[in-house]
Amino acid sequence: MVPAQVETRTTVLITVRFGEVLAARGVTTVALDDEGRLTRYHPDGTTRLLR
């Protein structure tokens, strides 16, 4: 999953892992894995390579 960082006015960086947030809500996401392959990430933690 790709973390996103947001800089606030007090210059504190906040990291949000949107994939984890969406998985907690039962949403399946699609993203590139560490090797650059298109991958489906299921809420139960399993993954599936997309071709």
Please give the torsion angle defined by the CA atoms of residues 46, 41, 33 and 12, in that order, rounded to the nearest 10 degrees: -110
Backbone phi and psi for residue 20, each to the nearest 5 degrees, phi listed first: -70, -40
pLDDT at residue number 32: 94
pLDDT at 34: 94
The answer to whether 11 touches 51, Cβ cutoff 8 Å, is: no
pLDDT in tens, 1-51: 667 776 656 667 888 888 889 999 999 999 999 999 999 999 999 999 998
Q: So what's the pLDDT on residue 7?
A: 62
